[in-house]
């Protein structure tokens, strides 16, 4: 059974600051802690897939700088194959600054840098790739080129449409599974998403354009639906939240892992929710830039 996942997307050198709240306009706010970690939705989802046991490749673009070296070293340390990474000779590596509050909620600013120059026109799809993971931190052109190649190779395409931007038909037609949070669902569906009922309505609208959709609702669980089917709601697992930073990416990586291993969609979502609940309740190792997790061992093989 194939277990290979290709993630084509962003890599960021993240500065993570802990503070009581987000600063107001023109305010200088003192924080309590700072960490320098590897991030980006592409990187986070690739590491999540690898931590959950899948053979994982990362395709993206970093700068020819210290941050780029840091990002490549991190991926190798997490067991992710970096042979498809591009190195930009002029643009700096992408970066972000995140402020994490005691509640676990956060706000962030991203500078894309070399991520915007990532080109997938000549991307080689690894043998036995089952899943291609895409996000919106690279260009639509790169996503379309990667999706076309993956679909031609027999892989399924998951698009995490984050951050939210218009989803054009040439990309939507290539997407097998669309994963969004409530804010992104509201933008794409053109209607508010505030609770499970409104998420069901948004999923119904989105399934007019994509084959299957999953809307993550944090503590309210997940609403998922396939085109022509009926929307379903899966409640969340209880968790003592330490930090929600990166939780969506970890959910998606775990979901892709289970689909690559042959699980059906509902079972894959259930597993990803369980993995996500462990993730948000586990402290980040700021020095290594990861959470010290071994998800499969903690869930048990029977839960996979």
Helices (H) and strands (E) in the chain, counts: 9, 14
Identify whether 249 is a catalytic site residue: yes
Going edge to edge, which strands form the sheet with 177-181? 55-59, 4-8, 129-135, 156-160, 177-181, 212-216, 222-226, 232-234
Burial 212-250, CB ≥16 within 10 A → b, else e:
bbbbbbbebbbbbbbeeeebbbbebbebeebbbbbbbbb
- Among 39, 162, 16, 174, smallest CA distance to 94 is for 39
Cβ-in-10-Å burial (0-12, 13-18, 19+) of 300 comes to: exposed
Please state, in angstroms and rounded to a whole number, the distance separating the CA atoms of residues 259 and 274: 15
Structure-block tokens of residue 221: 């669980």
Please state, in angstroms and rounded to a whole number, the distance separating the CA atoms of residues 304 and 299: 7
Given 14, 74, 88, 249, the catalytic residue: 249
**CA–centroid distance for 204 within its chain:** 23
Please state, in angstroms and rounded to a whole number, the distance separating the CA atoms of residues 172 and 156: 13
Which residues, in sequence order, are CB contacts of 122 under 8 Å at separation 6+? none
Which positions are catalytic?
A: 249
């Amino acid at each position: 059974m194939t277990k290979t996942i290709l993630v084509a997307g962003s890599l960021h050198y993240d500065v993570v600051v802990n503070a009581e709240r987000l600063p107001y306009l023109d305010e200088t706010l003192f924080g309590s802690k700072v960490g320098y970690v590897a991030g980006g939705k592409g990187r986070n989802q690739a590491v999540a897939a690898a931590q959950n046991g899948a053979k994982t490749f990362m395709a993206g673009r970093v700068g020819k700088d210290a941050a780029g070296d840091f990002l490549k070293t991190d991926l190798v340390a997490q067991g992710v194959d970096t042979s498809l990474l591009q190195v930009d000779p002029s643009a700096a590596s992408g970066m972000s600054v995140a402020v994490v509050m005691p509640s676990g909620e956060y706000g962030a600013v991203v500078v894309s840098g070399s991520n915007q120059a990532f080109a997938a026109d000549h991307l080689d799809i690894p043998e036995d790739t089952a899943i291609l993971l895409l996000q919106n931190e690279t260009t639509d052109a790169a996503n379309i080129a990667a999706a076309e190649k993956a679909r031609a190779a027999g892989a399924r395409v998951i698009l995490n449409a984050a951050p939210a931007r218009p989803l054009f038909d040439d990309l939507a037609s290539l997407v097998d599974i669309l994963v969004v949070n409530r804010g992104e669902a509201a933008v794409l569906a053109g209607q508010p998403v505030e609770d499970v009922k409104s998420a069901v309505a948004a999923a119904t609208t989105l399934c007019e354009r994509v084959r299957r959709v999953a809307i993550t609702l944090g503590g309210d669980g997940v609403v998922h639906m396939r085109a022509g089917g009926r929307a379903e709601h899966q409640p969340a697992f209880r968790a003592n939240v330490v930090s929600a930073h990166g939780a969506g990416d970890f959910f998606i990586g775990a979901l892709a892992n289970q689909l690559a291993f042959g699980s059906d969609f509902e079972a894959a979502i259930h597993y990803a929710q369980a993995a996500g609940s462990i993730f948000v309740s586990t402290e980040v190792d700021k020095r290594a830039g990861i959470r010290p997790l071994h998800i499969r061992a903690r869930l048990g093989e029977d839960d996979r």
